Amino acid sequence: MHTAKNISDWNDKTEAGLYEWWSSMANKGMAHHPDDDPASIVYVENGAPFFDSKASAALCTIYAEMEKLHDDLIYVAAHKAIMSRLAWERSLPENEW
């Protein structure tokens, strides 16, 4: 189970910082869709929570601030980071992902 100390700090509130945060989380294997409640994410093999309650709360706070500052760009940044982590080769224009 991941704890709050495993969550990347989001200190750079710029657009570049948004992308960097998502990339950091993806590289740690902890990126997911920002609309998913972190408390509801579980390990497939055993149903155990992926994040503890403090990590879930920290993520909810970060996502709310990201959305306030960057609106829908949060989805683009998350998607780009996850697809990059999966080594997905883009065959469609970015706006059609």
Q: What is the pLDDT of residue 84?
A: 83
Going by the DSSP 8-state scheme, the letter that residue 9 receives in this structure is: P
CA gap 62, 59 in Å, rounded: 5
* CA-to-CA separations, 85 to 16, 22, 23, 68, in angstroms, rounded: 17, 10, 8, 26
Q: What is the pLDDT along the chain (97 residues), one digit of tens a residue?
A: 999 999 999 999 999 999 999 999 999 999 899 999 999 999 999 999 999 999 999 999 999 999 999 999 999 999 999 888 877 656 556 665 5
Q: What is the pLDDT of residue 93?
A: 61
Q: What is the pLDDT of residue 66?
A: 98
Q: What is the pTM of this model?
A: 0.85
Q: What is the pLDDT of residue 85?
A: 80
CA gap 84, 88 in Å, rounded: 6
Q: What is the pLDDT of residue 92?
A: 58
**Per-domain residue ranges of the chain:** 4-96
